[in-house]
Each structure stands twice: as C-alpha cells, then as structure tokens.
Amino acid sequence: MKNAFVFPGQGAQFPGMGKDLYERSEQARARFQRANDILGFDIASIMFDGTVEALQKTSVTQPAIYIHSVILALELNIQQQADMVAGHSLGEFSALAVSGALSFEDGLKLVQIRANAMQKACDAAPSTMAAIVGMDDAAVEALCLEIGDVSPANYNSPGQLVVSGGVQAIQTLIEQAKTKGAKMAVPLTVNGAFHSSYMEPARIELEAGILNTPFQKPSCPVYQNVCAKGITDPEEIRRNLVAQLTAPVRWTQSVQQMISDGATHFTEIGPGKVLQGLVKRIDKSVQTAGFQSMPTPE
C-alpha cells in the first residue's frame, strides 16, 4: 500500500480559500505574510475576501492555488506520509515544494514568473483551448495533425482530452470532433493555448527563473507532467519543469504509472475535487480522498 498525494491546477480556486488555515495556525499566518511580501501585493485578502472575478486573474489564480495547496500540505505534514507526489500543470510546483525539491518561497517566485509570462504570451497571440470528451486519444491526436495549429494539451483521463491552439483551428476541431463521434466538444473559457507552442515565449522567460533557482532531491518521487515518471534527480526535475509549459500534461499516464508503481490511495491537497474525479475515471480500484481545509479537531 502506497500513498500518493496530488495537487490541483488552475481553475480550482474559490473565494475564501485558505482562510481557515490563516485563522487556525500561527505558522500558516507567517507563510501567508511571506507570500504577500514575495508577490508585492496582499494576495491573502484576495483569497479570503475577493470576488470570483478577482481570483480568475492569472497573476492571482496561480499563486493563490500554490499558496493554499502548499500551506495546507505543510500543516497536514504530508511530506512524512507521501510515497509519491504529482501535480496537474501548476500543481506540479506545489508537489515539488511539498516534497522539498523547492522551498515554499522559491516555488512561489517561480509561480509568479510563470503566471505573468503566460499572461504576456496570451496577450501577444490570440489562442484558446477546448475539451473533447468521448473520443479515443489517438483519434483526437490524428484530428489535430490533420487540422494543424492545434495540439493535445491535457490528457486528463481516458476519453477526456483538452486541446490547445489558434482560435480558428480550435473552432474547426470542435466542429469536426462532433461529426466523428465526440460526446462533447466545448471551448474552454481561457484566454490562451496553455501547454502548446503558443507558450514558447513564456517557457523562455520561466527557464531563466528555473535555472537561477536551487533545487534539492525530493523526499519521494515526483511524477512529472512531461514524462509521467517518478523523478528524484534535481537536474532532471529542472529540465522537465522547463519543458512543461509547451508540452502536454500527461495526467492519465502519470496516474497509471503511479498505480503501476504501487499507489493504492490518492489524496488531493488544495482547492477543489477535480483530481479525485479524474483519478477515479482512470482507475476505479484505487481509493481517493481530499483536503481543501484542515480537518476539524474532534
């Protein structure tokens, strides 16, 4: 029996996130204050009392999810319990911080660079994403090649693949996917083609930050999005993290590999319950649980 801990990506944020941590733990309060200092604005107050719209800004969303996930994991002492960790896209930074590969502060600095660089890349070239449900991955991949200017972005679970690309190419793919048997083909409310070549300017900017950041050997294998394998070598982790912005998130393959390597219990740490649902769709035999807040003392 092995315990796998997984960390959510962008889209899991909600107003009030992390407020209970701040109110209940002096250590958590200190970390929220450090986060405010690093970011140069009061992200804690936006997380606790901000609107849904305020939390949707990429420059707020990504740091907020990272801060919530990592502080909660540290409060729950996850590092001592984890046999393996993984995070979906942005969540990979949370997994690296919780496993000790990155410090909380350095991870947050990289997340801020990443969020700002991605926003710039989105503003520079109109692009978007779509979710295709009910088609084989191979069929969606073939359609992407046929249309051009669109590529797989997130392998979320068998039969659920998110694609990224130019606005017109995404529209064409949605129309063609419906004629080829997709149960659902819908545009996502995002302003950029994440995990595609559209993010190349952001990748270059993030790479500079990653190369200047110290990485340590994690306390357990980190199953990285790019390769779907458990990695412990700091330099390999660094290379994979740079590649992540323009490469697809291989979440299905990562979870399958974790199960193959002995994972029987998956626990999601941070806002939302999306990953618990994806894990169950990938393999119903494993147990799933999640924490969005500290458990109430008996």
Give 10-64 pLDDT, tens digit per residue. Answer: 988 999 999 999 999 999 999 999 999 999 999 999 999 999 999 988 889 999 9
Residue 222's region, left for phi above 0, alpha for psi from -120 to 50, else beta, is beta
Which CATH superfamily is 2-123+197-291 part of? Answer: Malonyl-Coenzyme A Acyl Carrier Protein, domain 2 (3.40.366.10)
Exposure of 49 by Cβ count < 10 A (0-12 exposed, 13-18 middle, 19+ buried)? exposed
From the candidates 89, 99, 127, 254, which is the catalytic residue? 89
Q: Is residue 225 pLDDT above 90, yes or no?
A: yes
Given a contact cutoff of 8 angstroms between Cβ atoms, the answer to whether 293 and 71 are in contact is no
From the candidates 94, 195, 196, 254, which is the catalytic residue? 195
Q: Is 88 a catalytic residue?
A: no
Provide the residue ranges of all domains of the chain, joining segments of one domain with +.
Answer: 2-123+197-291, 127-187
Return the percentage of the chain with pLDDT > 90, whole number: 94
Q: Is 68 a catalytic residue?
A: no
Q: For the structural domain made of 127-187, what CATH number should be given?
A: 3.30.70.250
pLDDT in tens, 68-87: 999 999 999 999 999 999 99
